[in-house]
Structure 1
Amino acid sequence: MWQEISRIGRKLVQSGLVESHFGNISVRMGDRMLITRSGSALDELTSDKIVEVEVQGTCALDVIASSETIVHRAIYNSTSAFAIVHAHCPYAVTMSLLQGEGCITPLDSEGRYFLGDIPIVPGGIGSAELAENLAKALYCHKAAIVYGHGTFSIGRVLDEAYVLTTQVEHSCRIRYLHDLMRK
């Protein structure tokens, strides 16, 4: 499974959805999850850069797991997701800063069809507040944007979460360019 996480990490970096050392990826496996280690370069993931931790509660390996482990736990415990991709998509982050609270409504037909409104949620990196806010948002949505921070997308498999991440960024880019041209 670490190879799949590595493949998605490379795709995220190659497509410009994240800088190498930002973002994280996880996969749920029963009552455990595999998650990228804190500070790992997503385009250079190896088996030793993936950590297996508990889904229900903390464990000793949390100290080396992603700083967003608490957030991934909350999402898995509140949704039917089996995969999570967190990226720092530039247009999504920009649109969250411009929009503020609420949602971004995609203008493109694919975004409207596949995503609907994209919630913008507040909360500090790796905080209990962020974990709670994202768990609530992703209960009803496939993706959300953390204000000034990045996207979280969920799926039944990693590829689905990755595609939703690309869709959020595409819809935010279209929205940004549209709004720019209307000024």
Structure 2
Amino acid sequence: MTPEREAIIAAARSLFQRGLTHGSTGNLSVRVGDRVLVTPTGSSLGTVEAPDLSLIDLNGAHVHGPKASKEAFLHAALLRARPQANAVVHTHSTYAAAVSCMDGLDPQDALPPLTAYFAMRVGRLPLLPYFAPGDHGLERTAEDMARTHSALLLSNHGPIVAGATLGAAMDAIEELEETAKLFLLLQGLRTRPLTPEQRSALEPG
């Protein structure tokens, strides 16, 4: 097993065992040179194995192995937009998915900077318009937005995050989920997010 495959399987198990994915939802990818290893279609992150992983190119075209996730094109889009990124994590985690269904969110900044770690690991979180899972109509929008944002929230769907490493992408998507949880817990209560100055001092690159 290559280190990249081993890392994907370990991350997949971690996400599933902690309830950040369920059933056959969620997918992960890691850049390997000019190719991308990605979890396959219809797989559960709780049971996927290293030989099951698919290899695609940066245009999302299948290269080798089982058929890739129907959302593999999104992974390729984020990696094209962010040459410094080497991994992408997408989940349907409960709290972030719940926020993605809310009306009245700022499409440029869907979650407030409630904590310093959200500002550091996620930054601003754009809310993308709704597209059915696997709809390639989302590809251009996601790629354009990913040029300036490492994390995106897909309407009525869930979050997707690119990171310099798989560990960094995992940290960011977990921070996003916890902030979504806080946001929902605080509904109806007065909050005190970071000030614009505090936020700017912490936001990534």
Q: Same fold judged by TM-score > 0.5?
A: yes
CA displacement 1:8-36 (0-9 Å, x = unmatched): 00111122211141010011112111010
CA–CA distance in structure 1, aligned partners of residues 99 and 30 of structure 2? 28
**Which residue, out of 157, 168, 174, partners 2:176?**
168
Match of 2:133 among 125, 138, 155: 125
Residue 109 (structure 1) shift: 2.8
Residue 94, structure 1, aligned to residue 98, structure 2: yes
Q: What secondary structure, in the 3-state scheme, does the structure 1 residue paired with 2:68 have? A: coil
Deviations 1:98-139 (A, max 9, x none): 145612223223213332321111233222222222222222
**Of Structure 1 and Structure 2, which has the larger fraction of its residues in strand?**
1
**Residues paired across the two proteins, number:** 182
Return closer, same or farther for 1:63/1:48 CA change in 2, 3 Å cut-off.
closer
- Find the counterpart in structure 1 of residue 195 from structure 2: none
Listed as ranges, the gaps of 5+ residues in structure 2 are 191-205
Q: Which residue of 1 aligns with 2:61?
A: 58
1:108 pairs with 2:112: no
Q: Which residue of 1 aligns with 2:146?
A: 138
Alpha-carbon distance, 1:56 to partner: 3.2
Of residues 143-152 and 44-53 in structure 1, the stretch that sits farther from structure 2 once superposed is 44-53
Q: Quick one: distance in 2 between partners of 1:141 and 1:56?
A: 20
TM score, norm. by length of structure 1: 0.90
Does the CA contact (< 8 Å) of 1:31 and 1:56 recur in 2?
no
Q: Aligned pair in 2 of structure 1 residues 21, 138: CA closer, same or farther (>3 Å)?
A: same
Structure having the larger proportion of residues in helix? 1
| Bigger radius of gyration among the two | 2
Distance across 2 between alignment mates of 1:8 and 1:39 = 17
Instruction: Provide the TM-score with structure 2 as the length reference.
Output: 0.81
Range 97-106 or range 63-72, more displaced: 97-106
Alpha carbon RMSD of aligned pairs, Å?
2.0
| 4+ residue runs over 6 A deviation | none
